[in-house]
A and B are shown apart, each in its own frame.
Chain A
């Protein structure tokens, strides 16, 4: 076997020389002649008979040559060479094909590199599909979490998982204390965490079980980034003592470079979770601390089965829950991919679908171009076929040309993709996971190669199927009927696809303008949001924090042009905001609201100027007054929605809330009703809202969230430096962040803007390509028919007649394409549902305007070449015969 292979290889490299074969044949002939002469034949006759008997010498030679292994490589090289010569003769054609292909392949590759991580690429863990995130979810926390008490029980009683590992709920700020404290992110996980994910540290080791217990040795692992950047990749980092938040800890390991936390957070320092089952039964009202839980499914157990097996345990847990939480809490088990990609998948699919459609249009265009060229080459093909090229050989030649073109297109496409990915990463909003990680790598390169091969096959076959007809040798060139039909269907398909893309993009655009134009209930022009990072180390009591903010408030009020200075813990419509359950509220003199009903309420703790600053009208009652801030009474203002829900048909002013989960002290009195404000992001349904007065009492100044809003008559850019200097005149070490509210609002719309821009861009690209295809076909057909047109005109047809003749042909394609496209668009538009805001997937305006627009553009693309066709001089075309 091996020797055979070697022999083949030897012959592949050292080709047998032609001379040897000639000599061999010559010997054979001489023998034949000699034999015949010996039998008494005349020498000349003997030679003649021998030659006849031998048959063709040249075919024999060729046959022998063909036996050589690797013979076909030579012919492929011939084909490639021939293809190059053909392209060189027709640079305009080659260039247009290359540009079209490069655009199509480039865009597809770029989008693939973005959606690959969301849709296809396995997560960077061992057997990632077996890993799940599990725990409780409820309306206030939609990501799975579990309370320590229940984790203890689950560890003991669960059946579907082979391993469980907990992680702290999220990263926390911590300081690496060397000379100056360096702010870092810290997180903790159990020793079983890394093994569950199949990850081992790149340096050092994982936590030992004895380190992962309460009061164990103080050890940490550090991230690859911290090791490389801060410690310059010091190989002696292990066993080094570092100081985190004033506590000396020993470094035992460095995480791998590409390690990705399942929560997609970035953490620099990881400490052991040190789970203490005993403590979990007592702290936090006997529930234990919340944590994130990940698990590996046992072989053969599906997520649904795991869910079913965990359900009894969960039901047992529920009885510990307060009634209010019981009905809202659910068990959730999600695959890690669902957990990590969140809601990015529908967008990713739509985007990928769009770009594939654009690629199809591009391919169809190239096929059209190739076929037009093929029609021009019929005579050449017929000649080649007549001198002995087999049909297979001609098909192979056509495919070779297609592959050469698409290979070049692939290379150019990769360059375009590289640029496009940079643009995507630039444009991408923070909300879509993984986009910022997109880049070209081997996998993406392979994908690009694959789709270009696919393209090559598609348009290569289209040309290869053109049969060379011997008639073409003597007849005038003409487009065969089949060919015309194929090209017409290609263009019709292109138009249909464009309609689908355009209507999708138009729907998104409509939705986006609705998002932009909706009434948020607040005015943001000229309002500056100031965030002051008060260091907790020095401002360690609520009193100090309050004093700082009150001083800041009064100094900002003195700035020229200031209309209002308000303080709040959050600003609508997005970002963090406090929330509680409607059933937590208890109105005096009314029966308690049944637990678990009414959904959630947004809570905001504000000063009186909040309403003035954001221009939120008070519909009834009054705003908070400055004297309320020092009074004993606790005032609240309800949003219209909340007032209607709690006090339908009643006057809410003067109603009292009894103390409860959200109302402290002696209860609170309703003093006013404010108009509704968009408060659950730009696209979600707004929730009822309750404003609590932030009094000048230290109790009201806890919590991590505090923001100052400054409404000024001066331009925002002018007051920014003033605000900065006011802050530093109180405490010059405190860093200040500020942003005009308009800009932060703008950022909230980043994601729909990104989606709309991208899809719109691809839809327009698709339209452009389709129109170019239509134009090209009409122009081509008009040229082909110039003779016929000449005859018609000679027989008395007017220019208008001819124009109508050509335009009718084109319009038929547009109409059929539009109809088919509309049908498919209507049938598939439901996939866009999750991306749309207040726009129906069957939005009539979209489905009327898009075909109209396309028809209009198509009409132009038809009329220009058609008009050129009517300028035919009958005498000229007839003489050309």
Chain B
């Protein structure tokens, strides 16, 4: 298993929103999905997942409801709200800008050192 990377502050929210944008999901599902998509690089500690979910819910970006899973179990599903969608768009834009900037800085740094 590759070494898991610590999540950048604030990126957890983005990841959750992005995951939920595909389909409504329960907490376990969100964690699994992120882990799978990142090829096990990103492992989310449950200690931070649930507080994050609750925080997003309090902010009104996601909404929760109890549903039955395919295994006939009751689980709490989170879905993105309208505000959440808008927020995701802004956060994605911010992320793009940020990663481009970082890439640019790192790229220059590499050139300078070589």
Give residues in A with beta carbon < 8 Å to B.
3-4, 6-8, 11, 16, 20-21, 23-25, 27-28, 30-32, 53-56, 59-60, 63-64, 66-69
Q: Are A23 and B58 closer than 8 Å at their CB atoms? A: no
Is there an interface contact between B60 and A3, defined as CB atoms closer than 8 Å?
Answer: yes
Contact of B51 among A30, A56, A66 (CB under 8 A): A66
Indicate if B75 sits at the interface (CB-CB under 8 A). Answer: yes
Chain B residues with CB below 8 A from A30, complex form:
73
Q: What residue in chain B is nearest A24 (Cβ atoms)?
A: B76
Among B2-10, B42-50, B92-100, B103-111, which stretch is in contact with chain A? B42-50
The A-B contact count (CB < 8 A) is: 67
- B residues 61-91 in Cβ contact with A at 8 Å: 73-76, 83
- Interface check B39, CB cutoff 8 A: no
Closest chain A CB from B83 CB (angstroms) = 6
Q: Are B58 and A67 in contact (CB under 8 A)?
A: yes
Say yes or no: B58 contacts A60, CB within 8 Å. Answer: no
Roughly how many angstroms separate A3 CA and B82 CA in the complex, as a whole number?
Answer: 10
For residue B31, which residues in chain A have a CB less than 8 angstroms away from its CB? 28
Shortest CB distance B90–A (Å): 13
Q: Which residue of B lies closest to A34 (CB)?
A: B71
**A8-B75 Cα distance, complex, nearest whole Å:** 23
Contact (Cβ within 8 A) A64 B50: yes
Q: How far is the CB of A58 from chain B (nearest CB, A)?
A: 11
- Contact in complex: B54, A68 (CB < 8 Å): yes
Minimal beta-carbon separation of B84 from chain A (angstroms):
10
| Residue among B47, B48, B54, B83 facing the most chain A CB atoms (10 A cut-off) | B54
Smallest CB gap from B27: residue in A? A28
Query: Which 8 interchain pairs have the tightest Cβ spacing?
Result: A7-B60, A63-B51, A31-B28, A67-B55, A67-B54, A64-B54, A4-B60, A54-B46
Distance (whole angstroms) from the CB of B19 to the closest CB of chain A: 15
How far is it, in angstroms, between the C-alpha of A8 and the C-alpha of B73 when the chains are bound? 30
Choice from B28, B57, B73 contacting A32 with Cβ under 8 Å: B28
CB-CB under 8 A from B28, the residues of chain A are 27-28, 31-32
Q: Contacts A27-B28, A27-B75, A32-B28 given: A56-B47 contact, CB under 8 Å?
A: yes
In angstroms, how far is the closest chain A Cβ from the Cβ of B49? 9
Q: Measured between C-beta atoms, what is the minimum distance from A67 to chain B in Å?
A: 4
**A27 contacts B58, C-beta separation under 8 Å:** no
Residue of B at shortest CB range from A32?
A: B28
**B47 in complex: contacting residue of A3, A60, A67, CB < 8 Å:** A60
**Min CB gap A17→B, angstroms:** 12
Q: How large is the interface on B (under 10, 10 to 19, 20 to 34, 35 or more residues)?
A: 20 to 34
Q: How far is the CB of B76 from chain A (nearest CB, A)?
A: 5
Interface-centre pick from A3, A16, A25, A63 (highest chain B CB count, 10 A): A63
List chain A residues, Cβ under 8 A from B46: 28, 53-55, 60
Q: How far is the CA of A28 from the CA of B53 in the complex (A)?
A: 13
Docked Cα-Cα span, A55 to B51, in Å, equals: 13
Q: A4-B83, A20-B76, A68-B58 are in contact. Are A25 and B26 (CB under 8 A)?
A: no
Complex contact B73–A27 (CB within 8 A): yes
- Chain B residues with Cβ below 8 Å from A59 are 47
Check A24–B51 contact: CB distance below 8 A: no
How far is B45's CA from A11's CA once the two chains are assembled, in angstroms? 25
* A46–B76 alpha-carbon span in the complex (Å): 23
The A interface, classified by DSSP as helix, strand, loop or mixed, is helix
Of A23, A24, A31, A68, which contacts B50 at CB under 8 A? A24
* B46 nearest CB neighbor, chain A only: A54
Is the Cβ of A69 less than 8 Å from the Cβ of B58? yes
* B54–A4 CB distance below 8 A: no
Complex: chain A residue closest to B47, CB-CB: A55
B100–chain A nearest beta-carbon distance, Å: 28
Contact A27 B26, beta carbon cutoff 8 Å = yes
Give A67 to B73 CA distance when docked, in angstroms: 27
Residues of A contacting B59 in the complex (Cβ-Cβ under 8 angstroms): 4, 7-8
The chain B residue with its CB closest to the CB of A69 is: B58
Given contacts A20-B76, A24-B27, contact A55 B58 (CB under 8 A): no
- On whether the beta carbons of B47 and A23 are closer than 8 Å, the reply is no
In the complex, which residues of chain A have a beta carbon less than 8 angstroms from the beta carbon of B60? 3-4, 6-8
A-B contact pairs, 18 of them (CB 8 A): A4-B59, A8-B60, A11-B58, A20-B76, A21-B50, A24-B26, A27-B27, A28-B46, A54-B47, A55-B46, A60-B50, A63-B50, A63-B51, A64-B50, A64-B54, A66-B51, A67-B51, A67-B54
Separation of A378 and B59 alpha carbons in the complex (Å): 40
Additional pairs, 12, CB under 8 Å, beyond known A27-B73, A63-B48: A7-B60, A11-B58, A23-B74, A23-B76, A24-B50, A27-B28, A54-B46, A55-B45, A63-B50, A64-B50, A67-B51, A69-B58
- C-alpha gap A31/B74 in the complex (Å): 12
A8–B58 CB distance below 8 A: yes
Chain A contacts for B50, CB-based, 8 A? 21, 24-25, 60, 63-64
Distance in Å from the Cβ of B86 to the closest Cβ of chain A?
11
Report yes or no: A27 in contact with B74, Cβ–Cβ below 8 A. Answer: yes
B31, B50, B57, B60: most-surrounded residue (chain A CB, <10 A): B50
CA gap between A734 and B62 in the complex, in Å = 91
By beta carbon, the residue of chain B nearest A1 is B83
CA–CA, A101 and B51, complex, Å: 43
Once bound together, how far apart are the Cα atoms of A621 and B111, in whole Å?
A: 115
Q: Is the beta-carbon distance between B51 and A60 smaller than 8 angstroms?
A: yes
A20 to B27, CA, bound (A): 13
**Chain A: minimal CB distance from B48 (Å):** 8
With most chain A CB atoms within 10 A of its CB, the pick from B27, B45, B46, B47 is B46
CB distance from A36 to the nearest CB of B (A): 13
Q: Enumerate chain B residues within 8 angstroms of A8, measured Cβ to Cβ.
A: 58-60
State in angstroms the CA–CA spacing of A56 and B50 once bound together: 12
Question: What residues on B are CB-neighbors of A55 within 8 Å?
Answer: 45-47
User: How many Å lie between the Cα of A32 and that of B31 in the bound state?
Assistant: 11
Chain A, residue nearest B51 (CB): A63
CB distance from B78 to the nearest CB of A (A): 10
Distance A810 CA – B74 CA, assembled complex (angstroms): 73
**Complex Cα–Cα for A66 and B48 (A):** 12
Separation of A470 and B60 alpha carbons in the complex (Å): 43
In the assembled complex, the Cα of A665 lies from the Cα of B48 at a distance in Å of 108
Complex CA distance for A214 and B46, rounded to whole angstroms = 92
Please, which residues of chain A bring their CB within 8 A of the CB of B83? 3-4
* CB of B62, distance to nearest CB on chain A (Å): 10
In the assembled complex, how far is the CB of residue A323 from the closest CB belonging to chain B, in whole angstroms? 84
CB distance from B1 to the nearest CB of A (A): 13
Most chain-B Cβ atoms within 10 A of its Cβ — which of A21, A25, A67?
A67
Interchain CA distance A59-B47 in the complex, whole Å: 7
- Let me know if A7 and B58 touch, CB within 8 A: yes
Residues of chain B within 8 A (CB-CB) of A6 are 60
With A and B bound together, what is the CA distance between A20 and B75 in angstroms? 10
- For the complex, give the distance between the alpha carbons of A23 and B48 in Å: 17
Measured CA separation A59–B54 after assembly (Å): 14
In the bound complex, what is the Cα–Cα distance between A69 and B60 (angstroms)?
A: 12
Bound complex: CA A838 to CA B47 (Å): 79
By a CB distance below 8 angstroms, the chain B residues around A16 are 54
User: Nearest residue in A to B31 (C-beta to C-beta)?
Assistant: A28
Nearest A residue to B59, CB-CB: A4
Q: Which of A16, A54, A64 is the most central at the interface, judged by chain B CB atoms within 10 Å of its CB? A: A64
Q: Determine the chain A residues whose CB is within 8 A of the CB of B54 once the complex forms.
A: 16, 64, 67-68
Interface string of B15-51 (1 = CB under 8 A from A): 0000000000011100100000000000001111011
Closest CB in chain A relative to B51 CB, distance in Å = 4
Bound complex: CA of A247 vs CA of B34, how far in Å? 97
Chain B residues within an 8 Å CB radius of A23: 74, 76
Please determine whether B75 and A63 come into contact, CB atoms closer than 8 angstroms: no
- Which of A3, A6, A55, A60 has the most chain B CB atoms closer than 10 A to its own CB? A60
Query: How far is the CB of B54 from the nearest CB of chain A, in Å?
Result: 4
Closest A residue to B45 by CB, please name it. Answer: A55
B27 touches A63 (CB 8 A): no
List A contacts of B48 (CB < 8 A). 63
* Nearest chain B CB to A10 CB, angstrom units: 9
> In the assembled complex, which residues on chain A have CB atoms less than 8 Å from the CB atom of B27?
24, 27-28
Residue of A24, A25, A54, A66 with most chain B CB atoms under a 10 A cut-off: A24
Complex-state Cα separation, A8 to B26, whole angstroms: 22
